[in-house]
Structure 1
Amino acid sequence: MSTADAVAGRTIVITGASSGFGRGSAVELAARGAQVVVAARRGDALEALVAGIEADGGSAEAVHADVSRREDVERIAASAERRFGDIDVWINNAGVGGLGLFWEIPVEDQARIVDVNLKGVLYGSHVALQRFTARGRGVLVNVGSVDSEVPLAYQSTYAATKAAVLSLGRSLEEELRLAGLDEVKVATVMPYAIDTPWWTHAANYTGHAPRMAMMDDPQLVVDEIVKACTRPRTQMPVGPKARGATASHRFLPGATERLTGQLVEREVERASASPTGPGAIYEPMAGTLGVDGGIRARMRAEDASEAGRSPAASE
């Protein structure tokens, strides 16, 4: 059975769906016949997303919600069931980040990252698994990161929350196995650095515009999230760079961490100057509704400027 056949008619909840691969996954799954329930803080963006999906013949429902609030997560589930019936797949995708040295990022910003990235996943997982375990089937997809396996300098609290997301998924799988609930599955999708608006939304205290070497295209993650809905695995590193980094860290953790730390520091130093601040972690940001974040294009311009040539010449 193809993925399109497998998801057709299924009800799939996606948090963090107003931009990035949450948005891309919603469009892709709806095109394959799924009934998608999209949730995020930007209500207007969600309504536009739903209008576009329905104009293309799909079925969708928008829920304006902040996943760090348990009552909002409960409302997502209630809205999904009221519109489409039982939830088949729940995708915990919403996430925020903070860039900078740990001691230079305000502790309030760090706590907000934990609230969204960890507590939001806890709330979503609990709401979903209460329903899945009662019915004896369902798929929970949590979006982690390569940081779930490889701790990363300048993203310490983000990396800590993503490590917790992977650990939670593993623990849940063990509990489901012990309970004999073999048809309830948990997957953790683990992307490498992806060019989405996440970088623009992140709190940034580096003094430089965000960037990372060898960024992947968001479609890689969209494809993996879609696959996880029907072929979930405990740990799903996305692409060769994520697979290589996770494997390297298992065998050579110290060397891998030193190498990635040096890579991040070098990228920070190469970036153009930028004001510091909390980004969109507290309040949504306007004008960043795409799947692609435009970071790679800016990086090409920065690299070309550094080398003294035009951006077109660097491509």
Structure 2
Amino acid sequence: MSSNPITEQITSRVEEQTGDDTRPVLTYLGPAGTYSHQAAFDRFAKTVHYRALNTISDVFHSVGPAVHLALLPQENSIFGIVTETYDLLRSSDVGESRWVRGAVTLPIQHCLVVRRGKTLRDIKKVLSHEQALGQCQRFLAANLPEAQQVSVASTAAAAEVVSKQPDAAADCAAICSKICLQLFADLELLHEGIQNEHQNFTRFYILANHPTTPLPNTRYDGRGEFNALIRLELQQKVDELNASQDSSHPTVTDLLAALCLPAIRIDRRPSAQHELFGSVYLVEVFDNEASNASRPSQRVGEEDVVTGPLPPWKERILDGIARVVARGGRADLLGTW
């Protein structure tokens, strides 16, 4: 089996760490200061080591023995699903060596930051990624109509320029995520939530190297609810289904009925096997029958780990998968949380 250069790089960096720090490593789509970084920090705070990577694929493939966790952008409430993430979820690695262990939702809050002590009256230029500039036009028109808008590579890059470049300190502002205030020195928040659209949210999946990897900074809240992500595929090709008069061949509706679990979202991607119009369905189910009242647990750090017999919710999920297979489809459990 060929080695993965991303995994090797991460392993090398982890091995360089010294001392007794045993916090797990979490990778995310960089650079530092992105909204992926903000979402990860909001969820895990200082309980993990953060590693920024260049692409979603790099983040996905980094998960292994040295990297316990990763954050993958899944969907934006305005722009829809992140197709690269869903294409990676088609991989047989998911459910075998990588698992979805949770979800994080981040409200996109654009912030206007300046060098410490500066005010709106001082600002002559506003730096940010072109999309962020476009998403804040109403605020800029009302409050900084004369300021020049300068597009840079990322929102984090804008914050770094204002923080580190002397010629930008006097009259420049950056539109960026709030976490940039912790990453770059001498920055001050002038306004938070300056975007035009206030119903802009991005959801992320937490990927892990084991199906029961404990998530740091997690506390059991006692709710009898549970989620799972299941990958469904028809064994029969679409053109064969269209040509067949045999009603025994299952359809997607048949597989969902066999699963018999409340589906809260269904997403489709083309088959990874390059079959003509073949499909992979990613089905997120929500088991509201699960009762945690009788589940014995032990505290491990800040995570409750279930012990004892297989809990009822897991039995229902596995029973549903078995029914899909019996009906003639394929179903893989990609993760639970």
Normalising TM by the smaller chain, what interval?
under 0.3
Please state which structure has a larger fraction of its residues in helix. 1
Give the TM-score normalised by structure 1: 0.27
Please state which structure has a larger fraction of its residues in strand. 2
Question: Rg larger in 1 or in 2?
Answer: 2
